[in-house]
Amino acid sequence: MALILIVDDDAALAESLAETIADLGHRPLVAASGRDALSRLAAEPRVAAILLDLRMPGDLDGMAVLARIRAQDSPPPVTVLTAYANAGNTIEAMRLGAHDHLTKPVGRADLAAVLAAMLERPAIPSSSAVEPGPGDGLVGSSAGMRRVQKTIGLAADSDATILIRGETGTGKELVARALHTYARRRTGAFVPVNCAAIPRDLLESELFGHVRGAFSGAVTDRPGAFREAQGGTLFLDEIGDMPREMQAKILRVIQDKVVAPVGGRPVAVAVRVVAATHRDLPGMVAAGTFREDLYYRLNVVPIALPPLRERLADILPLAEHFLAGAGLGGKRLTAAAAARLLGHAWPGNVRELRNVIERAGVLVRGDAIDAQDLDLPAASRKPEPVDWLSGDLPGAVARLEAAMIAAALEAAGGNRTAAARRLGIQRQLLYAKIERYGLGAPPDGTDLSDIPTDAVVNPDGRA
């Protein structure tokens, strides 16, 4: 039997967690605030694991409590629970040393699994907190993006090389920037280099620099990208397009941490290298067009970005994010527009979605963006049968939930109470899912909060 500390200001949820923990054979200990949690932890050194709510009242929210716990000697493992997961709090929680970061509500099986994993894990070393950075547009609560966000948090402070793989338009540079932003070395420069955009005869000078007179046209010294990124991060984008002769030189620099400017003497560098590609590097290795030793040297920490078609739960939140980011936050998507977005294949991934949303936001005069306002290819305008069984289980569930909620809201004229009744769920759960899927306002543009609600009978029979 292990002592599990539950930190949550929601008494009902804390009681529910405590009951489940007791059923699992452990002893729960409840704290209603951050300060209460720290006091109980100091008084109970036998606490073996902690479940920590992210949003709590007072001057100590969940992240601040996590930082204080992790600053202690041999702190117990902590799993952060939140109904408001985003890239920023997921990355920062993992970077601070959280065991995991889960979204509420947490099912019994998931709770049992995370407790078993925390109790099997030895106490992890403490870490000091740094000021968290922005989410950098890594919007998404799908299983694929949650894995990416957690990996960023775990790897941010490491010096290991990272290889980001994903289709064009999935946001590989955003991931690289987040890795830099959340790292201790973020005070250094972030230097991106597109290996596919630089002519091969200039790439060596671009990366390693040159001295004056080293070749025709070298009228001044140039430090090169490696030295410009000294103490920071060098992002080698589209490294799969790098000429093979340059690959050997990059491998040597990564291994020896020394660059040799064209015509100059070797110089030591301290740089974190993050590479990215949309190409099949293992296939290129097999074909002899990419060095095997460089591939393994880059692929120390792999991050695979899923295409947008496998991130259905993220499409509508991303669309709302792009509307707000373009200064168009006053405009909303109708249920028909949301359905159109969910039915498109998005071959251009997140970049294509951003262009479509920003274009519609600029050209539509009213507050509501409807399906016909979305400039999508003709083929995607025809209703297509949905493959409900494709992708992973969270994606399929999100696809079904978003479609059913959009249909219920449209049928109810935007009335959330009536929509909740149709769906057989409580209003609070419907509100959370409307926000998660970015379903926004009803087709007539009315603010959902302005629509009167009728009495709804909860599933347990109470109004």
In DSSP terms, 192 is beta-bridged to 235
Chain segment 385-398, per-residue pLDDT in tens: 566 666 667 677 77
Place of tokens 């870490």: 127
Chain segment 357-405, per-residue pLDDT in tens: 999 988 888 888 998 999 887 544 344 456 666 666 767 777 788 888 8
Those residues with Cβ within 8 angstroms of residue 234's Cβ, 6 or more apart along the chain or in another chain: 191, 193, 225, 226, 271, 272, 273, 274
Those residues with Cβ within 8 angstroms of residue 459's Cβ, 6 or more apart along the chain or in another chain: 424, 426
**C-alpha span between 30 and 33 (Å, rounded):** 9
In DSSP terms, 29 is beta-bridged to 5
**Contact status, residue 141 vs residue 85, Cβ threshold 8 Å:** yes
Q: Amino acid identity of 62? A: G
pTM: 0.70
**Contact status, residue 207 vs residue 251, Cβ threshold 8 Å:** no
- What is the predicted pLDDT for the residue at 453? 41
Angstrom CA distances, 198 to 23, 189, 201, 206, 405, stand at: 61, 20, 8, 8, 48
Q: Which domains does the chain have, with CATH numbers?
A: 3-120 (3.40.50.2300), 144-304 (3.40.50.300), 309-450 (1.10.8.60)
What are the pLDDT tens digits along the chain (463 aa)? 899 999 999 999 999 999 999 999 999 999 999 999 999 999 988 999 999 999 888 778 999 999 999 988 889 999 999 988 888 889 999 999 999 999 888 888 889 999 999 998 655 444 444 444 444 468 888 888 999 999 999 999 999 999 999 999 999 999 999 999 988 888 999 999 999 999 888 898 899 988 876 676 666 888 889 999 999 999 999 999 999 999 999 999 999 999 988 888 889 999 999 999 999 999 999 999 999 999 999 999 999 999 998 888 889 889 988 888 777 667 888 888 888 898 888 999 999 999 999 999 888 888 889 989 998 875 443 444 566 666 667 677 777 888 888 888 877 777 888 888 888 887 778 887 887 776 754 444 444 444 444 433 333 433 3
Q: In this structure, is the dihedral angle defined by the CA atoms of residues 436, 437, 441 and 442, taken in order, positive or negative?
A: negative
**Contact status, residue 23 vs residue 1, Cβ threshold 8 Å:** no
